[in-house]
């Protein structure tokens, strides 16, 4: 059983502030990802990316964050083989396998907040908000939201790949609570949104890319 397994490799505390002076894209699985051109995707991947769940199918991640065992079972080939040479990050209580590139974090449930140190993240119901929180821990500034929509497209799709079978009537509520938390953090870090949501004014892709020319080039965390 999960609780009887030895503790997995924990997210490294020394990662804190490693991204200082760099930009980071936090990538959810919203339907707006389908609006990206190949050229835009190539430009995005010149910066550090933290992808959530199946967003890796559109954007190559530097960190892939997921929380559920079911995600691993449905994407275990990608997680195990790691063709994009990224860091896999999951909750300690849902870690299924031991891999050199797989790290875990401990989740403090309740309201979204910024806890004191890694390997702790805090908040419930929105993995995208946790990915943003991680980006803040790592010291990235600015942080760009991508695919963090919290809304459906005109066909009623919940995600870029269609209708997510795990979608419930709480999903959008939790997603919007996560965006509200992120907006509160705009006092501490510069945030640009390339997503389709009602919490942030959608920025111009070209203008954001122009601003990123002033920050340091992409780096590898490990």
pLDDT score recorded for residue 21: 94
- Distance separating the N- and C-terminal Cα atoms of the chain: 30
**Most trustworthy range by pLDDT among 140-144, 169-173, 215-219:** 140-144
Range of the domain at 201: 2-206
Q: What is the mean pLDDT of residues 17-25?
A: 95
For 72-119, how does the pLDDT look when each residue is reduced to its tens digit (9 = 90+)?
999 999 999 999 999 999 999 888 888 999 999 999 988 888 766 888
Residues 6+ apart with CB under 8 A from 50: 24, 25, 26, 27, 61, 62, 63, 64, 65, 131, 134, 135
Phi, psi of 107 (to 5 degrees): -95, 125
Q: What is the mean pLDDT of the chain?
A: 89
Is residue 52 a part of any domain in this protein?
yes
- Quick one: which of 196, 177, 58, 95 has its CA closest to 128? 177
For 179-221, how does the pLDDT look when each residue is reduced to its tens digit (9 = 90+)?
999 999 998 999 999 998 888 999 999 999 999 998 998 998 9
Q: What is the DSSP letter of 97?
A: S
Q: What is the mean pLDDT of residues 113-135?
A: 88
Residue 154 banded pLDDT, cuts 50, 70, 90: confident
Count of the separate structural domains present in the chain: 1
- C-alpha to C-alpha distances, 203 to 39, 146, 156, 157, 206, nearest whole angstrom: 17, 11, 24, 23, 9
Is residue 215 a part of any domain in this protein?
no
Is residue 217 a part of any domain in this protein?
no
pLDDT score recorded for residue 160: 81
pLDDT score recorded for residue 174: 84
CATH number at residue 85: 3.90.1480
pLDDT over 90 at 1, yes or no: no
Element at 69 (helix H, strand E): helix 69-81
How distant is the alpha carbon of residue 182 from its chain centre? 12
How distant is the alpha carbon of residue 145 from its chain centre? 9
Is residue 169 a part of any domain in this protein?
yes
- C-alpha to C-alpha distances, 101 to 32, 62, 214, nearest whole angstrom: 29, 11, 31
């Amino acid at each position: 059983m999960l609780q009887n397994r030895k503790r997995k490799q924990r997210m490294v505390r020394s990662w804190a502030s490693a991204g200082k002076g760099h930009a980071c894209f936090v990538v959810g699985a919203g339907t707006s990802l389908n609006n990206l051109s190949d050229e835009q995707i190539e430009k995005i991947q010149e910066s550090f990316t933290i992808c959530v769940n199946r967003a890796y199918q559109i954007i190559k991640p530097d960190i892939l964050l997921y929380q559920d065992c079911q995600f691993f079972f449905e994407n275990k080939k990608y997680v195990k083989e790691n063709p994009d040479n990224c860091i896999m990050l999951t909750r300690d209580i849902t870690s299924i396998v031991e891999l050199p590139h797989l790290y875990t974090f401990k989740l403090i449930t309740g309201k979204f907040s910024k806890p004191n140190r890694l390997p702790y993240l805090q908040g419930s119901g929105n993995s995208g908000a946790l990915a943003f929180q991680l980006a803040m821990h790592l010291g990235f500034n600015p942080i760009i939201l991508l695919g963090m929509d919290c809304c459906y497209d005109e066909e009623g799709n919940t995600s870029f790949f269609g209708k997510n079978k795990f979608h419930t009537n709480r999903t959008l509520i939790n997603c919007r609570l996560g965006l509200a938390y992120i907006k509160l953090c705009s006092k501490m870090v510069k945030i640009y949104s390339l997503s389709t949501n009602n919490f942030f004014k959608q920025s111009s892709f070209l203008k954001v890319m122009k601003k990123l020319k002033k920050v340091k080039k992409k780096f590898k965390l490990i």
